Structure 1
Amino acid sequence: MSIESTTPTTKIKIKYCTKCKWTNRAIWYTQEILQTFSPPTISEVSLVPEIINPGTFEVYISRTHEELLYRRKMKQDFGLSEKEKKVTYEGFPDAKLLKNLIKQKLEEWDSISSDVVGEHLSRGVGTLLNDGGVDDDDYNDEKDCIECKKEE
């Protein structure tokens, strides 16, 4: 029997705003994920450019169903469900934070061993975030980012 038929496939999807010019950031996260989680742990990482909803940056993980793993907080976040509030953060994640969120979800699903994932991830989630270069003084409450504001 092949590995593919016995191991459930795990997929990561990164949705990002193209108007905000977050393509390179999404590609960098993809590289970090693929270097940390070797197949068959993660079978696919996909990039989904978002044009309709400016300011979007979300990371989804799926095996049997898709779950929101990380969501960048936007100024106009109203009516979020409790589940969405748990995965909404200020700014962008440090690579270590994002990889630890993935690791925790995988462990929740099937208790993967620490030798599949690098030892450097086993020290806790951490809280490293950055703001993506958006200065609070330049941040308009009605807009999601400086680049989206320039586009309008």
Structure 2
Amino acid sequence: MEEPSSGIAKPRVAITYCTQCRWLLRAGWMAQELLSTFGDSLGEVALVPGRGGAFAIVVDGETVWERVRDGGFPDVKALKQRVRDRIDPGRDLGHVDGASAAGAASDGQDRA
């Protein structure tokens, strides 16, 4: 997908989910989280029906999460970080990236 004014292609995210397992709601929620966080930085977020326990998230042809390979479903923090690392590595995700380990250790607060 292209941005009309610049002709630069924006990233496409595809979330493949198992229809037999009824994972549509989970896939839709993850799509919503990505769109809320990355907004206009994404060209498309597609939900792709699959079967046989499939659950994978692919950014521009590169798998960033696969349920079997990665041991289950991603939490939203991990998902956003992996997508960010693929489309805009320098981007700060604010509270999703959390405080530095030293800051968290010094006050005993878990900010992740």
With the shorter chain as reference, the TM-score category is 0.7 to 0.9
Q: Give unpaired runs (5+ residues) of structure 1.
A: 74-87, 125-152
Provide the rounded CA distance (Å) in 2 between the counterparts of 1:60 and 1:4. Answer: 24
Aligned residues: 96
Provide the rounded CA distance (Å) in 2 between the counterparts of 1:123 and 1:3. Answer: 34
Provide the rounded CA distance (Å) in 1 between the counterparts of 2:75 and 2:27. Answer: 12
Q: Are 2:84 and 2:91, in contact at CA under 8 Å, matched by a contact in 1? A: no
TM-score (norm 1): 0.58
> Where in structure 1 do 4 or more consecutive aligned residues deviate above 2 Å?
111-114, 121-124
One-letter amino acid of the counterpart of residue 59, structure 2: I
Provide the rounded CA distance (Å) in 2 between the counterparts of 1:37 and 1:9. Answer: 11
Residues 26-51 of structure 1: CA deviation (Å, up to 9, x unaligned): 00001100000010x11100000013
Q: Which residue of 2 aligns with 1:131?
A: none
Provide the rounded CA distance (Å) in 2 between the counterparts of 1:122 and 1:8. Answer: 26
Q: 1:135-150 to 2 correspondence within 5 Å? A: none
Which structure: greater helix fraction?
Answer: 2
Q: Which residue of 1 aligns with 2:63?
A: 68
Q: Give unpaired runs (5+ residues) of structure 2.
A: 100-112
Provide the rounded CA distance (Å) in 1 between the counterparts of 2:91 and 2:75. Answer: 23
Q: Are 1:17 and 1:55, in contact at CA under 8 Å, matched by a contact in 2? A: yes
Residues 42-80 of structure 1: CA deviation (Å, up to 9, x unaligned): 1100000013xx110000001xxx11110001xxxxxxx
TM-score (norm 2): 0.77
Pick the aligned partner of 1:93 from 61, 66, 74.
74
**Whose Rg is larger?**
1
